[in-house]
Chains A and B, each alone.
Chain A
Amino acid sequence: MKSYILYRLFQAIIVIWGISLITFSLLHMFRDPVLILLPPEATKEEAETLRKEMGLDRPLAVRYVKFLSGMVRGDFGKSFVAQRPALGLVLERMPMTLWLAASGLLLAIIISIPLGVIAAVRRNRLPDHSASIFAVLGQAMPLFWLDIMLIIIFAVKLRLLPASGAGSYKHVILPAAGIAVSLLPILMRLTRSRMIEILSQDYIRTARAKGLRESTVLFRHALRNALIPVVTILGFQSGMLLGGAVITETIFAWPGVASLVVDSIFNSDFPVVQAAVAVFALLIVFANLLTDITVAWLDPKIRFGS
């Protein structure tokens, strides 16, 4: 177990290094930062001075090492627009993104797991068919369009909920619903197929033969075991969850990290873009690492193996 964790940690470090490389190259794909920072009437000499000040005249390798050491210390430079440390700007917005992602995830779990159980118990009957139709539709639905339709229906037509922004708990309902729908199909399908598999096993038959109540059999004996792979998938979906947050924040003008990044990309404010991309990637790496270790811990073959 210890060596497995060490191995995964080593892998995570390689991934983080790769991310630093991509994030650094992002900088070089953007237009010349000096031209963005200076007013159009600036002279060539002014541009050269600024270039020197920012260290942009040094060789690429030197700049990469500087960037990497900055990244390790959490220093991505100052935002061109806000003139404040980029990482601080990103971390300030983080709670809003995490709140949105967590609400979406919670909503997805609350809906998908019972639906998956019902579909498995009433297999090939009406509940199962309607659940699978729902899953097929949810999987094909473009999230950004779903978000817009939610706004049209619930904010514009029915006037039940606010269309954008954040503030009250009401603001989180529509964006969270959008994120939930994007996660629902996979969670529901997985719960269903695991439940079907487990319900056909001997120990379930034994439990029923003992005369246990059906609800006890379903929830205490079957669902508990079915949830293990569901939790695994949840861990590995963190990337998808954050991707969904990017889309949803853009549509709902939700003041989180993702909308900050999208704005910064359009403003060519790349210290902020780099800081945010690095923070997002670290979150995903960390979630995957945690999931892997949990899976390993749950699996005796890895826990006690070499």
Chain B
Amino acid sequence: MRTMNGRDGCRYFFRRLGQARVGIVGLAMVSLMVAMALFAPFISPSDPLEQDLHARLRPPFWDEKADPKYKMGTDQVGRDMLSRLIYGSRISLSVGFLTMAFSALLGITLGILAGYYRGIPDSIISNGVNIMMSFPYILLAISVMAAAGPGYVNLIMVLGLTGWPVYTRLVRAEVIELEGRDFMIAARALGGRDSGVILKHILPNTASSIIVLATFEMARMIIRESFLSFLGLGIPPPNASWGGMLAEGRSYMLNLWWLAAIPGSAIFFTTLGINLMGDGLRDWLDPHTRMR
């Protein structure tokens, strides 16, 4: 194999970057949403919870009756839609990220235990994965949320505890595949401790597939969060969550369609950005597609 010096590496990096245009678009979309969430207090025109009962259900800017004070219009109690949208990104992104991190941590740990030690831990964990995968997750999430009650922490716990099997399945399969490789045999032969082998050899070799999966899972978690909030089981009102806004807007579907369309578009924009980023990452990290 040809070795790369710094300059070649740099050029290679930028060539790869050029090929991953789709990923860059996704990254830009996600960065926009992250910036929106981080700087919400500075960029939102007003308080997302402040009601103005004299200015209820104002249409957004494209309508001729729009109020210039409320660019995206107002909801049924006169709260500024734009500010609620901006603050909503905080909930969706943080819940999406935290549940993803929680389920990934749990799933990766179990996957390594199952794949590395095989035997009894493997059969327990693998059967657990099969059970969870045969369970209609959405019913599980709805019933547990109904029992536990809506709330930020409960939501992260429930989504995290139902989201781990995909990681376990992936990591377990990858670890088993790595087992037969020469470097693993060498690491063992040299007397490497289990923890060292796992941290130095297994994790770095599975990292790229985990990162790709985690990206797609984050988008999925955002959708799950918004659906639970939509049902009134996620983030409780009056907090500005996109799913909750959609639920409120749904009652006005017959004539004020934008009340449901706008928060949904925000969810869609975010998940689209994350998915595009995931596609880009997959192309970038996966040597098989890189050659094509």
Inter-chain CA distance A247–B137, complex, in Å, is: 12
- A262 interface residue, CB < 8 Å from B? yes
Residues 89-137 of B contacting A (Cβ, < 8 Å): 127-128, 130-131, 133-137
Residues 218-274 of B contacting A (Cβ, < 8 Å): 219, 223, 226-227, 230-231, 246, 250, 253-254, 257, 260-261, 264, 267-268, 271-272, 274
> How many residues of B sit at the interface, in one of the four size bands?
35 or more
Q: Determine how close the nearest CB of chain A comes to the CB of B288; give it in whole angstroms.
A: 12
Sample of 4 more A-B contacts, CB < 8 Å, known A246-B139, A273-B143, A280-B139 = A14-B131, A145-B267, A149-B260, A266-B146
Inter-chain CA distance A262–B138, complex, in Å, is: 10
- Given contacts A140-B271, A145-B246, A262-B142, is CB(A281)–CB(B134) below 8 Å? yes
Partner pick for A247 among B138, B257, B260, CB 8 A cutoff: B138
Partner pick for A285 among B134, B137, B246, B257, CB 8 A cutoff: B134
Q: Are B261 and A152 in contact (CB under 8 A)?
A: yes
Contacts of B226 in A (CB 8 A): 142, 144
Partner pick for B143 among A19, A151, A277, CB 8 A cutoff: A277
Q: Are B264 and A142 in contact (CB under 8 A)?
A: yes
Contacts of B144 in A (CB 8 A): 26, 29
- B74 interface residue, CB < 8 Å from A? no
- A115 interface residue, CB < 8 Å from B? no
Contacts of A120 in B (CB 8 A): none
Inter-chain CA distance A250–B228, complex, in Å, is: 12
- Residue interface bits A189-206, CB-to-B below 8 A is 1, else 0: 000000000000000000
Q: Are A243 and B136 in contact (CB under 8 A)?
A: yes
Contacts of B268 in A (CB 8 A): 140-142, 145
Partner pick for A281 among B135, B253, B257, B274, CB 8 A cutoff: B135
Q: Are A29 and B134 in contact (CB under 8 A)?
A: no
Inter-chain CA distance A15–B231, complex, in Å, is: 29
- Residue interface bits A246-270, CB-to-B below 8 A is 1, else 0: 1100100000001001100110100
- A22 interface residue, CB < 8 Å from B? yes
Partner pick for A156 among B138, B230, B253, B271, CB 8 A cutoff: B253
Partner pick for A148 among B140, B260, B271, CB 8 A cutoff: B260
Q: List 18 A–B pairs whose Cβ atoms lie within 8 Å, in order of A's numbering.
A: A15-B127, A15-B134, A18-B127, A18-B128, A30-B143, A140-B272, A140-B274, A141-B271, A142-B227, A144-B227, A144-B230, A156-B257, A247-B138, A262-B142, A265-B143, A277-B143, A284-B136, A285-B134
Partner pick for B147 among A29, A246, A250, A284, CB 8 A cutoff: A29
Shortest beta-carbon contacts, A-B, top 7: A18-B131, A145-B264, A29-B147, A140-B272, A140-B271, A142-B223, A280-B136
- Residue interface bits A1-26, CB-to-B below 8 A is 1, else 0: 00000000001001100110010001
- Residue interface bits A27-62, CB-to-B below 8 A is 1, else 0: 001110000000000000000000000000000000
Which residue in chain B gives the minimum CB-CB distance to A289? B134
Contacts of A141 in B (CB 8 A): 268, 271
Q: Are B231 and A156 in contact (CB under 8 A)?
A: no
- B148 interface residue, CB < 8 Å from A? yes
Contacts of B267 in A (CB 8 A): 142, 145
- A291 interface residue, CB < 8 Å from B? no
Interface centre among B136, B246, B257, by most A CB within 10 Å?
A: B136
